[in-house]
Chains A and B, each alone.
Chain A
Amino acid sequence: MSLLELKGVTKRFGGLQAVGHMTFAVEKGEIFGLIGPNGAGKTTVFNVINGFYAPSEGEILFKGERIDGLKPYEICRRGLARTFQVVKPLARLTVLENVMVSAFSRTDRRDEARAMALEATAFTEMEAWRDRTAGSLPLGMRKRLEMARALATKPEILLLDENFAGLNPAEVEKTIAIVRKIHESGVTILIIEHNMRVIMSISQRLLCMCYGERIAQGTPQEVANDPSVIEAYLGAANA
Chain B
Amino acid sequence: MSRSTLLSLGGLALLAVLPALVRNPYVLHMLILCLLWTVLGQSWNLLGGYTGQVSFGHAAFFGIGAYTTGILVKSGLSPATAWWGLLLGGLAAAAASALIGWICFRLRGPYFALSVLALAEVLRLVALNWKQLTNGAEGILFIPAFNSKAAYYWIVLALAALSMAAIRFVMNGKLGFYFLAIREDQDCAESLGINATKYKLISLLISAFFTGVAGSFYMNYMGFIDPGIVFSIHDISVMMILVTMLGGVATTWGPAVGAAIYILMSEAFRTYLKSGHLVFFGVLIIVIIIFFPQGIVGTLKETLQRRQRRLAGPQASSPAKGAA
Contact = CB atoms under 8 A, between A and B. Distances in A.
Contacts of A76: 190-193
A17 interface: no
Interface residues of A, number: 37
A71 B187 CA distance: 11
Contacts of B178: 101, 104
Given A72-B190, A90-B184, A128-B320, A110 B174 contact: yes
A45 to B, nearest CB: 15
B6 to A, nearest CB: 21
A109 B175 CA distance: 11
Contacts of B130: none
A105 B323 contact: no
A129 B323 contact: yes
A104 B324 contact: no
A140 B324 CA distance: 8
Q: Which one of A52, A88, A125, A153 has the highest number of Cβ atoms from chain B below 10 Å of its Cβ?
A: A88
Contacts of B319: 128-129, 132
Interface string A62-78: 00000000011100110
A104 B174 contact: yes
Contact of A102 (B192, B196, B323): B192
B181 interface: yes
Nearest to B319: A128
Q: Which one of A73, A93, A97 has the highest number of Cβ atoms from chain B below 10 Å of its Cβ?
A: A73
A138 B174 contact: no
**Size class of the contact patch on chain B:** 20 to 34
Interface string A187-230: 00000000000000000000000000000000000000000000
B128 interface: no
A50 interface: yes
A169 to B, nearest CB: 13
B177 A97 contact: yes
A111 B174 CA distance: 10
B191 A72 contact: yes
Interface in A115-143: 125, 127-129, 132, 138, 140-141
A137 B193 CA distance: 23
A73 B181 contact: no
Contacts of B271: none
Interface string A36-72: 0000000000000010100000000000000000011
Contacts of B194: 73, 101, 105
Interface string B60-73: 00000000000000
A127 to B, nearest CB: 8
Given A73-B190, A104-B178, A140-B324, 5 more contacts: A72-B187, A88-B188, A100-B177, A101-B177, A113-B177
Interface of B: 172-174, 177-178, 180-181, 184-185, 187-196, 318-320, 323-324
30 contacts: A50-B191, A71-B195, A72-B191, A73-B193, A73-B195, A76-B191, A77-B193, A90-B184, A91-B185, A92-B184, A93-B181, A93-B184, A97-B180, A100-B177, A101-B178, A101-B189, A101-B192, A102-B192, A102-B193, A104-B174, A104-B178, A110-B172, A110-B173, A110-B174, A127-B323, A129-B323, A132-B319, A140-B324, A149-B192, A153-B192
